[in-house]
Structure 1
């Protein structure tokens, strides 16, 4: 279901269900999150997570005018996977601020070295931060937006139950993990064999 102004809840309606729906949403988010090593989390997005994000932004910022609502939709809707890919928010997490500053400097480019490996197929490296510049010569950002684009054969393999690994081959953050069956089952639903043509980029900015 496409995210449109008409399909979103009003501020009043969302406020009424916001607290009672939080636990269920957290469970859904957990089902779509993979932890790569100790300090990187990959939160795979879908229509439900992005719809919630938009509703939260409208709630927090008290946005109710049509132009403002459309602006939030335009900012986030491109993060919904479109059938050939997985789209995700990559979080680099170090609780201690001094350690975080040091590690973000060491991990420049890490977002480009994260990959998905479908059993029997080549690695698919993340396409990171389209339309955005989230690092500089001194450090990378703690948050990145990434897209993993799959060919038809790899999509078919995932839907048929092939194993999938998530990894990183950055010099300072080598990591590899197998995506668990429950998370993988959720992610497999994002992939279709013959998707309708649509832009794959994020379109943020």
Structure 2
């Protein structure tokens, strides 16, 4: 009887956690899909331009600005898998970061994604594990084998050239100076930020 009560309690907890996730706009969760990472090379004169190009793409996870005006976007696409789900860390709604999102930072080096896996009995634990680690940028959960995989943003110690700077999407903006924002908008002919939620600035082309 005690085992039955415990089992029912665990099931009720799991259902409650599922409802909680759904009530939060599913927090950008992609159901029955597994992530595929692709690189997209675009033109940008500055780090800030590269950042804005990433911010304007819903599927952009991180960006890297290199010498000679090269901007490399890491785009998350997917393929169908009925057992898996995934989502970016600190994403409250599509294009909007959560309140727990780390501050936007400019880091030096060539970014790489380090993959780490462990078994967890529910997807909510996988999400929490990822979001409790500032370096975690995306999580994936397999319901069939209860395998949680988190992808951590690290710097490749072997890559020294060309000189690179990188940043992540779904972060809280640190560009609070009106002068810098004005200069970026003037250069790219971008309208002032709209839909400002949780310190994230969403830009639209004029």
TM over 0.5: no
- The structure that is helix-richer by fraction is 1
Bigger radius of gyration, 1 or 2? Answer: 2
Relative to the length of structure 2, the TM-score reads 0.31
Relative to the length of structure 1, the TM-score reads 0.31
